Amino acid sequence: MQLDVQKLDQPVGAIIGGWDPAESLGEQQRAEIRDLLRAHLVLVFRGNRQPEDRELIDFAQNFGDLLIGSEWFQDSGDHPEILPINNLVDDEGVPQGTAGSEALGWHADYSYVPTVGKESFLNAIELPEASPRTYFCSQYRALDTLPKEMIKKLRTLRAYHSITDFVSDAEDGTRGYGRRTMKQTQSDFLKKREHNRELGIERPRIPTAEHPVIMRHPESGREILYISPFISKYIVGMPRDESDELLTKLCEHSTKPENVYAHTWQTGDMVMFDTLGCLHRRDSWDPSQRRVMRQLSTKFAS
């Protein structure tokens, strides 16, 4: 397999051609893709046939053990490693995936889990006519461009990460910058949970976690500003008004427009991105139109 790499004229990103989902990766090919990911942060595999579920899982497992996020979101199916991201419902009105058609704010996948996401994989199966774009920005650059005194301060801090306020009917006790409500996502989650309970299925509770505000990537060795704007609720041990002010400042710094790549999806795109070092968000779209995606994430390994 010979990969064709076209660097995008964007803050992050490269288009990758020549990927064959049926071909197993050797160590040299795994190392090549790892190096490309460290260099570009976002790799758009394009022009290949649509991978089967098992092929997508096998490809992702080349880069680490996979998180089973589908169980937390009440979506576990034949391949629990794959989280269905869609706005579909069955004949009984039960949602068939996660995140509906609402906009999703800036976040790092699985930052609310004690063992956080490392790389993520997002594959477009079906897109609406006016497909929402997904946006990416570098948290390596965000840290590198902070004042040295600010970096020194941040090294002593930890942040609390949670999504329980918009996937549950229970409050998680947070307020301020990290407080978000996604009514449709919350409603979908509750419908799926109730449906599973009627079937006698009890999924594990979604975890919460605390993480250092500055983390080091376990493979590249580079440091990252690890603030997940959509999910970081507060700085541990800091007065709430100071915490909100600091989180707002850091999030605005991280997501300046000049640092953002807006990805326009094509059906079949498989985007692999450094979810430790790269925040992402998405637009909303007309909920009457279908959007079907598959998502996987590897685990951080210290």
Cα(32)–Cα(40) distance, rounded to whole angstroms? 12
Residue 301 lies in a domain: no
- pTM, two decimals, is 0.93
Q: Which run of H or E residues covers position 153?
A: helix 148-154
CATH number, domain containing residue 129? 3.60.130.10
Q: Could you list the residue range(s) of the whole structural domain that residue 104 is in? A: 4-296
Please give the Cα distance from 101 to 87 (Å, whole number): 6
User: What pLDDT does residue 222 have?
Assistant: 94
Identify residue 191 by its one-letter amino acid code: K
Residue 176 lies in a domain: yes
Largest CA distance in the chain: 57
* 25 domain-assigned: yes
Helical (H) or strand (E) element with 186: helix 183-198
pLDDT of residue 176: 46
Q: Is residue 191 part of a domain?
A: yes
CB atoms within 10 A of CB 267: 12
Residue 175, pLDDT score: 47
Structure tokens at 148: 């040295």
| pLDDT tens-digit profile, the chain (302 residues) | 899 999 999 999 999 999 999 999 999 999 999 999 999 999 999 999 999 999 999 999 999 999 998 888 888 678 999 999 999 888 888 888 888 888 999 999 999 999 999 999 999 999 999 889 999 999 999 999 999 999 999 999 999 999 987 665 544 545 444 555 566 677 777 777 787 688 787 878 889 999 999 999 998 899 999 999 889 999 999 999 999 999 999 999 999 999 999 999 999 999 999 999 999 999 999 999 999 999 999 999 76
CA distance 177 to 240: 9
Q: Return d(Cα 49, Cα 39) in angstroms, integer.
A: 25
Domains held by the chain: number: 1
**The predicted structure's pLDDT at residue 182:** 63
